[in-house]
Amino acid sequence: MAIHSPSDRIWWNKPIEKMELIWIGIAFCWGLFMFCAMIWWHIYGEQNLSNETYKTTPELFESRTEAMVEAYTVREEGDTGIPVVHPPAGSDVYLLARRWEFYPILELDMGQSYRIHMSSTDWQHGFSLQPTNINLQIHPGYEMVLTITPDSSGVFNIVCNEFCGIGHHQMLGRIHVVE
């Protein structure tokens, strides 16, 4: 047995109150405004990165990274001897994310443009360039291409911000920007 008669439960047959119509109109207008604001901010806000994504294989990407390391290594850093590469301005630069490391360390010239290709050989990693607001997800099988022009010199840290396993807290990389 129903608590209410069927005629009381058919809400779509009841007229809409004036105050409810006003709030529906306000919500619709606000949603339309926010939609337009997102489009405007994407074009003029200089917040969104212009990047490209391509399919690749871990083996192909790793071989391209190793070829770049062989061609442009200037020194090694750290206890493990991670190579530091200084590619020419305007070139394609490869940064490999793999089990708890970003490989290699990049050394870029301030004011010059570079196309940084990033991919993973094992699982999903995060790319967060500190202290700037560049934040990307790096997936195996996909090559993320980011065009950047460093506008200040110094050492910028790369942090993996996607949990990637037991060594996640040690997954750091660096980009040196020189004048």
Spell out the residues 6+ positions from residue 7 whose beta carbon is closer than 8 angstroms to its own: none
Task: Let me know how many helices (H) and strands (E) the chain has, helices first.
Answer: 3, 12
What's the one-letter identity of residue 99? R
Q: Please give the model's pTM, rounded to 2 decimal places.
A: 0.73
Q: What is the pLDDT of residue 36?
A: 94
The half-sphere exposure of 70 on its side-chain side, counting CA atoms within 13 A, is 6
Q: What is the pLDDT of residue 46?
A: 67
7 confidence band (pLDDT: 50, 70, 90): low
- Please write the tens of the pLDDT for every residue from 108-164: 999 999 999 999 998 899 999 888 878 888 999 999 998 889 999 999 999 998 888
Superfamily of domain 51-178: Cupredoxins -  blue copper proteins (2.60.40.420)
For 175, the enclosing helix (H) or strand (E) is strand 172-178
Q: What is the pLDDT of residue 3?
A: 66
- Ordered by start, the domain boundaries in the chain are 16-48, 51-178
- Please write the tens of the pLDDT for every residue from 146-161: 888 999 999 999 999 8
Phi-psi region of 166 (alpha: psi -120 to 50; beta: other; left: phi over 0): alpha
